[in-house]
Chain A
Amino acid sequence: MAVKVRIPTPLMKLTDNKSEVSAEGSTISDIFNDLEAQFSGIKDRICEENGSPRRFINIYVNEEDIRFLDGEKTAVKEGDEISIIPAIAGGTR
């Protein structure tokens, strides 16, 4: 099943500067693996070695944070929108 994945600015270097890509899979884990197959190195930026998202990056299925669903086992369906939202700190300088 195809879902739309929103790529945050700091990771766009890995997706040929695309802010939106398509990925296949039935869970968030599948989506991470498909992203890695398309854009080598991206999974390592998003996930810890055990496959769960890093603590300064949140993954949302539509509006919902997967930490409050089933984590990386969260099911996704055709047409869902996945957002990868890292902490950013910029403001002053």
Chain B
Amino acid sequence: MDFTDEQIERYSRHIMLPEVGGVGQIKMLEAKVLLIGAGGLGSPAAYYLAAAGIGNLGIVDFDVVDLSNLQRQIIHSTERIGMLKTESAKKTIEALNPDVKVTLFNEKLTADNILRIFEGYDYILDGTDNFATRYLINDACVMTGKTNIHGSIFRFEGQATVFQPKVGPCYRCLYPEPPPPGLVPNCQEGGVLGVLAGVIGNLQVVETLKLILGQGNTLVGSLLIYDALNTEFRKLKLKRDSNCPVCSDNPTITELIDYEEFCGLSR
């Protein structure tokens, strides 16, 4: 592809970086990234991915914008309360960068639709809010060989990592089983510092861009912990579990399962 004059100007601060250059910017414009959730993590992630010129952005969400979201979900706005989050995100992205082709999936991600939604995307950015969907995304990523850029937040603490199938561990290598329902509170129950979503969501973007560009070292095999109250980042080592039911050489789970049941949730 050839850049237009407008694109050369828009992406000039990227193009002048030796690690990006024109070649890297074209890789970004041709990249296909799927965002699961246009909420706390997904808002800053979608915003910066769009600014960077990621050419194809899929967004999955079934929720509508609520006033209590706006403390951290910066892609939405007060006048969009009640609007589908996907539609609201698309409006913001299109106003920011017309190079981005946005595809919306106004549905709840399930074992029945995930493979259809995943089709055509190379990178999956997990910004969901519950364990059932996180295990579903993990298993589908392992089964389809897609890279899962993971982030999660609680109160003043965040976690980020990259699960690259067969290269590094998966979510089940890290946490073989979810906590029983009710034991670990979510942000709705426990609260969260709004800007923490920006820190972790943007760390997910940084990892995604490096993966697309093939530059630097990523969080594959490392778990980054951010403690906002004490201003500390810690990096812990993650290893593949040779007995992992999904990503080991002899997996016992080879098809998507019932994740609500796996997480002990009544149907």
Per the 8 Å Cβ criterion, residues 45-62 of A in contact with B are 54-56, 58, 60
A55-B177, A56-B177, A58-B175 as given contacts; A87 in contact with B184, CB under 8 Å? yes
Q: Which residue of A lies closest to B159 (CB)?
A: A88
B4-12, B23-31, B98-106, B124-132 - the one binding chain A? B124-132
Q: Are A10 and B237 in contact (CB under 8 A)?
A: no
A55-B177, A87-B175, A88-B152 as given contacts; A93 in contact with B234, CB under 8 Å? no
Q: Are B225 and A91 in contact (CB under 8 A)?
A: no
Chain B residue contacts of A65, Cβ below 8 A = 236-239
CA distance in complex: A58, B229 (Å): 21
* Interface assignment of B21: CB less than 8 Å from any CB of chain A: no
- Number of B residues with CB within 8 Å of any CB on chain A: 50
Chain B residue contacts of A90, Cβ below 8 A = 40, 129, 152-154, 186-187, 190, 192
Q: Are B184 and A89 in contact (CB under 8 A)?
A: yes
Q: Are B179 and A9 in contact (CB under 8 A)?
A: no
Please report A residues at the B interface, Cβ cutoff 8 Å: 6, 8-10, 19-20, 54-56, 58, 60, 63-65, 67-68, 83, 85-93
Please report B residues at the A interface, Cβ cutoff 8 Å: 37-42, 61, 63, 69, 126-131, 134, 151-157, 159, 174-179, 184-188, 190, 192, 197, 223, 225, 227, 229-230, 234-239, 241
